[in-house]
């Protein structure tokens, strides 16, 4: 955030810039290596209230079948066996509470739904960028990560398949949003 920008100046409705946003994950595979991947199709919106950040809100919808790890066989197994995308096509997050921690850090609590199971999570979100873009728009950037237990959402594996994936998965968010006029 530039030194001349105040939180008050950020107030407004935003939409995710999907071309500049990355929603990824990291999971340990076979307890020796890490598999990194991302979701390629998603949409999101936010209302930022710079005067009263607690009135801010966030919504995110990820198309589960857009999962990519650069391994076609693994991606198919993740879609079919782990995420069951035919029955649960979307992963969603809807905020229920926003707390300001300091000038650029916020705790965003909300409901995360994966594979039809909804659980509360809290994400530490850091404001990383504020900028006017070349087309006259106003952008903000945020970064965060969240470690979840995939089993809490019913994302399990069958030992008979030989798949050995850690229960802990780190979700990574590198978000860019554009303020609506």
Extract the tokens encoding 85: 């995308």
Place of tokens 């919504």: 59
pTM: 0.91
CA angle at 97 for the pair 96 and 100, rounded to the nearest 5°: 155
Going by pLDDT thresholds of 50, 70 and 90, the confidence category of residue 33 is: confident
**Do the Cβ atoms of 151 and 174 come closer than 8 Å?**
no
What number of other Cβ atoms are within 10 A of residue 2's Cβ? 10
Burial class (CB in 10 A: 0-12, 13-18, 19+), 116: exposed
What CA–CA distance (Å, rounded) separates 10 from 177? 11
CA distance 33 to 17: 31
Q: Which domains does the chain have, with CATH numbers?
A: 7-179 (2.40.128.110)
**Res 18: pLDDT:** 96
Q: Which residues contact 44 (CB under 8 A, 6 or more apart)?
A: 15, 16, 21, 58, 59, 60, 61, 175, 177
- The pLDDT of residue 1 is above 60: no
pLDDT at 2 over 50: no
The 10s digit of each residue's pLDDT in 112-167 is 999 999 999 999 999 999 988 777 789 999 999 999 999 899 887 655 555 567 88
Kindly report, residue by residue over 44-101, the tens digit of the pLDDT: 999 999 999 999 999 999 999 999 999 999 899 899 988 999 999 999 999 999 999 9
Two structure tokens written together for 59: 């919504």
pLDDT of residue 176: 97
């Amino acid at each position: 955030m530039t030194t001349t920008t105040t939180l008050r100046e950020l107030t407004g409705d935003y939409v995710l810039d999907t071309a500049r946003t990355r929603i990824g994950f990291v999971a340990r595979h076979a307890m020796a290596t890490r598999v990194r991947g991302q979701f390629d199709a998603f949409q999101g919106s936010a209302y930022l209230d710079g005067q009263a950040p607690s009135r801010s809100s966030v919504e995110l919808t990820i198309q589960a079948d857009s999962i990519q790890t650069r391994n076609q066989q693994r991606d198919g197994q993740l879609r079919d066996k782990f995420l069951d995308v035919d029955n649960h096509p979307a992963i969603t997050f809807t905020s229920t509470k926003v707390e300001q921690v300091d000038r650029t850090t916020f705790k965003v609590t909300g409901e995360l739904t994966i594979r039809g199971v909804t659980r509360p999570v809290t994400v530490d979100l850091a404001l990383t960028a504020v900028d006017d873009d070349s087309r006259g728009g106003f952008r903000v950037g945020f970064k965060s990560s969240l470690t979840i237990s995939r089993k809490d959402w019913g994302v399990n594996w069958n030992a008979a398949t030989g798949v050995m994936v850690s229960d802990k998965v780190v979700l990574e968010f590198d978000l860019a949003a554009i303020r609506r006029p």
